[in-house]
Amino acid sequence: MALFERLLQRFLVQRGSWKIKVSCMREFLLLLLVSVALAPRAYASSDYSIGVSVADLTNPYFVKMIKSIKSEVAELPNKSIDVIVRSSAYDLDRQIQQIESFIDKKVDLIMLVASDELAIAPAVIRAQRAGIRVIAVDVRASG
Average pLDDT, the chain: 75
* Mean pLDDT within 9-22: 44
pLDDT-derived band at 127, boundaries 50, 70, 90 = very high
Distance CA 1, CA 23 (A): 24
pLDDT 10s digits, 26-64:
556 656 665 655 555 544 344 788 999 999 999 888 888
pTM listed for this prediction: 0.69
Tell me, what's the pLDDT at 17? Answer: 41
β-sheet with 48-54: strand ranges across = 81-87, 48-54, 109-112, 133-136
